[in-house]
Chains A and B, each alone.
Chain A
């Protein structure tokens, strides 16, 4: 009945959430200055928003601009709030909801890729099987001796998840993931 009533984080939001949460990917262009990442993640923790994945790197050295990619989960209303709250941060230049943008462009999702390093140790059949599967997943071997491999794998989050779960029984030791890097398809920039 209250389609317009939204979660606010306020104690006065006492009726049940009526909208379904969605997962969106945001690109945030910021001045690369001390504390800027703390401002962004402090906003998420302070206002009770979720971070599913976070990637940061300086992308334009001469302008000292960094691009932060955040995968977050929330209802449409919360996602809109997140965008506006991020835009309020003084060193934030632009915030693009890549998921919304993709929909506007008539696309399913933005391009999203992640890189993972996966260490697997073992001998015998398990070791052979691990290498065979890595090949099938187009993961490359970047370090190895007779008892282990370190695979480098790049791809969609789902592919990486699947690869890791397959490696588990084959002697998975540790995993390091970069988090999602993302942009929209097409000729236009953000």
Chain B
């Protein structure tokens, strides 16, 4: 066959070359990985080119979370490259993390040669079998001529529809074999066609319902961020047009600015009183790109009992999964909001006065000041530390990542996000160890930004090895540890559920974090006095290398407000009511069984 137009970009090369070519053709600039026997041919190709920069992590889990942070902060796919066997099994945690938080993550794994598959070869594992339930889709490529198409399809599946992780498993002999490379223009497979445009009929119904609402609320989630910047713009426009109050899940923070006047703060288990009470008492709820997770709803049979619910989601299986909704709209948030805003403008004459009584009620809940805490001159309160961190960094281009636990909730409550894609946290899976590698990924994507991992003293030790990677790539990430010497959230639950028996939630031997930072080649700071905190944070910001900031905070502070397990939105435990007795009796027998 002669070189016709259809032949553009088709040429013969090895499987390993195809991997690098496919990365380039899919716009990949950075990948995170760790070499090993079964991916050496790909590493050899990476060595011989400059277009794709490889970031060497210290553990495959770190590669995954770094790629997640990269993806979440850029809106592009994150890419990781690991070897067979333990390389692949170490990738499982970030894969499941990306699945639950809908992060586009492409994971390329090496595999033993096809002739050895099934023979219990060295560093062999059933990668596609192990990763099947923790990916959106995965492939084992046994023929080099399928490789290019599969890689392009992998990027397509990861980044379209509800984004998610994918795995392409490539045996070593396929990496060496020669075959025909095809560029990414082939038609996507016929069985995969996510619906992006919402039904106009349903959107019309939704607009009519919203227009007549007396006590409306918008509850938005990570889907708004995933849908892209346009979705956040449209969300802001809708709030402005309608005058509705808005709250958001943990994953959705930043889509609507925390400085916006209609902002109620985060909702859910550690959400604000006003957000949860408004959810409970509303008459119309507009859920945009969120999934009625158990952290959000509390007790399901008492969840917003009097409201009509509208749910916009790109994933049909999210509709009616946990909560019955009245108007489901399946589609991409930006596409649906575009229609919804247009119809609102055309058909609704906003009567913001009609919402006055509702806003008055909300003002009463707000006055309850549910995020209040008692400051202290001798000890740093963790909430105070976050507040100062926010005040001193808000004029920078700041990205925040977190680990998982009390510090994560305090960060969500007291750090205020005005832009989407600036907040990276492990919401669904709750992966301790996420924040440090995620910060590395964010910093690689945004070299000049201020990237801070708000961490706990327990979580940070789960992926601390990536300090070494941060130093190697001169990624000046800041690790701000709220150090209370406890696994604080575990302890809080032991106080709530288990008679204050603090089983293994206290860390008796703690590393010297300042020396640890220095040992890695970073900069260490310790602070234990409220009066010194501002200067110490300023020092952290000014140091142009990785910093570990050991912020010694009040050891026994707990995270409130809180909806105890098995309780409803209007049964919150507020900070000023959280006496030892109230804490000990907050959760009944049924609630104890829950997570």
Contact status B590-A90, CB under 8 Å: no
Decide if A34 is an interface residue (CB 8 Å cutoff): yes
B416 to chain A, nearest CB (A): 29
Which among B189, B315, B317, B319 has the greatest number of chain A C-beta atoms within 10 A? B317
Decide if B191 is an interface residue (CB 8 Å cutoff): yes
The docked-state distance in angstroms from the alpha carbon of A35 to that of B315 is 23
Decide if B446 is an interface residue (CB 8 Å cutoff): no
B297 to chain A, nearest CB (A): 7
Decide if A169 is an interface residue (CB 8 Å cutoff): no
B147 to chain A, nearest CB (A): 15
Which among A14, A77, A87 has the greatest number of chain B C-beta atoms within 10 A? A14
Residue of A nearest to B194 (CB): A88
Across the interface, which residues of B come within 8 angstroms of A77, CB to CB? Answer: 320
Chain B positions 280-323 with a Cβ under 8 Å from a chain A Cβ: 294, 297-301, 315-317, 319-323
Residue of A nearest to B305 (CB): A2
Of A5-13, A129-137, A152-160, the stretch lying at the interface with chain B is A5-13
Contact status A12-B189, CB under 8 Å: no
Q: How large is the interface on B (under 10, 10 to 19, 20 to 34, 35 or more residues)?
A: 20 to 34
Contact status A10-B132, CB under 8 Å: no
Contact status A80-B320, CB under 8 Å: yes
Across the interface, which residues of B come within 8 angstroms of A5, CB to CB? Answer: 300-301, 324
Across the interface, which residues of A come within 8 angstroms of B593, CB to CB? Answer: 11, 14
Contact status A38-B300, CB under 8 Å: no
Decide if A91 is an interface residue (CB 8 Å cutoff): yes
B233 to chain A, nearest CB (A): 29
With contacts A81-B321, A90-B157 taken as known, whether A35 is within 8 angstroms of B128 at the C-beta atoms is: yes
Decide if A57 is an interface residue (CB 8 Å cutoff): no
Decide if A185 is an interface residue (CB 8 Å cutoff): no
B539 to chain A, nearest CB (A): 45
The docked-state distance in angstroms from the alpha carbon of A38 to that of B126 is 13
Residue of B nearest to A77 (CB): B320
Across the interface, which residues of A come within 8 angstroms of B192, CB to CB? Answer: 90
With contacts A31-B189, A90-B189 taken as known, whether A13 is within 8 angstroms of B133 at the C-beta atoms is: no
Decide if A145 is an interface residue (CB 8 Å cutoff): no
Contact status B299-A12, CB under 8 Å: yes
Flag A6-24 by CB within 8 Å of B: 1 or 0 each: 1010111111000000000
Across the interface, which residues of B come within 8 angstroms of A138, CB to CB? Answer: none
The docked-state distance in angstroms from the alpha carbon of A93 to that of B191 is 4
With contacts A15-B301, A84-B317, A87-B317 taken as known, whether A8 is within 8 angstroms of B322 at the C-beta atoms is: yes
Decide if A46 is an interface residue (CB 8 Å cutoff): yes
The docked-state distance in angstroms from the alpha carbon of A35 to that of B298 is 37
B512 to chain A, nearest CB (A): 40
The docked-state distance in angstroms from the alpha carbon of A31 to that of B301 is 40
Contact status A6-B320, CB under 8 Å: yes
Decide if B136 is an interface residue (CB 8 Å cutoff): yes
Across the interface, which residues of A come within 8 angstroms of B594, CB to CB? Answer: 11-12, 14
Residue of B nearest to A34 (CB): B140
With contacts A6-B320, A10-B294 taken as known, whether A31 is within 8 angstroms of B191 at the C-beta atoms is: yes
**Pick from A6, A14, A92: contact of B191, CB under 8 Å:** A92
Across the interface, which residues of B come within 8 angstroms of A85, CB to CB? Answer: 317
**Pick from A14, A42, A84, A89: contact of B319, CB under 8 Å:** A84
The 9 A-B pairs with the shortest beta carbon distances in the complex, nearest first, are A4-B324, A84-B317, A90-B137, A12-B294, A93-B191, A84-B316, A11-B594, A2-B301, A85-B317
Knowing that A6-B324, A84-B317 touch, tell me 20 more A-B residue pairs with CB under 8 angstroms.
A6-B320, A8-B321, A11-B294, A11-B593, A12-B566, A12-B594, A14-B594, A15-B300, A15-B301, A31-B191, A35-B140, A77-B320, A80-B320, A81-B321, A87-B316, A87-B317, A90-B137, A90-B157, A90-B191, A91-B191
**18 contacting pairs across A/B (C-beta < 8 A):** A2-B301, A4-B324, A6-B320, A12-B297, A13-B300, A15-B300, A31-B191, A35-B129, A35-B132, A38-B132, A39-B132, A42-B132, A90-B136, A90-B137, A91-B191, A92-B191, A93-B190, A93-B191
Could you tell me which B residues sit within 8 Å of A by CB distance? 128-129, 132-133, 136-138, 140, 157, 189-192, 294, 297-301, 315-317, 319-324, 566, 590, 593-595
Could you tell me which A residues sit within 8 Å of B by CB distance? 2, 4-6, 8, 10-15, 30-31, 34-35, 38-39, 42, 46, 77, 80-81, 84-85, 87-93
